[in-house]
């Protein structure tokens, strides 16, 4: 039996489908996302409902340092980037909510 696969992300308490594709593509996508932070929890499901792989949510923001210990400036820069990203996401969410309300 040939299975189909889908990658899902936990968003606002609901599992949302990101992509339906081959097993290898979905596993590659999941592997690439494991280094992104912050990120939602993600899981790879087979068409029979079996969870093939999953990644827990990551809430820490990367400071972008490579070696040694991060400096206070690196933490401040990371915090500023996180706040900017949160503002962009909030704006997109508001725009999508407005579109849904206009339908």
* pTM of the complete model: 0.60
pLDDT digits (tens, 9 = 90+) for 43-77: 999 999 999 999 988 877 666 656 567 778 878 88
pLDDT at 68: 67
Tokens representing residue 9 in the block: 């992300």
Token pair belonging to 70 = 């991060």
Distance CA 99, CA 88 (A): 17
According to DSSP, the residues that pair with 42 across neighbouring strands are 9, 55
CB 76 within 8 A of CB 69: no
In the DSSP assignment, the letter for residue 69 is P
């Amino acid at each position: 039996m040939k299975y189909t696969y889908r990658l899902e992300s936990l968003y606002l308490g609901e599992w949302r489908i990101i992509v339906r594709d081959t097993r290898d593509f979905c596993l590659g996508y999941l592997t690439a996302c494991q280094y992104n932070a912050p990120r939602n929890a993600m899981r790879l499901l087979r068409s029979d409902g079996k969870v093939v792989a999953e990644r827990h949510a990551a809430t820490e923001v990367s400071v972008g340092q490579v070696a040694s210990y991060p400096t206070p400036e690196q933490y401040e820069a990371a915090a500023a980037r996180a706040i900017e990203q949160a503002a962009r996401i909030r704006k997109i969410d508001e725009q999508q909510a407005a579109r849904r309300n206009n339908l």
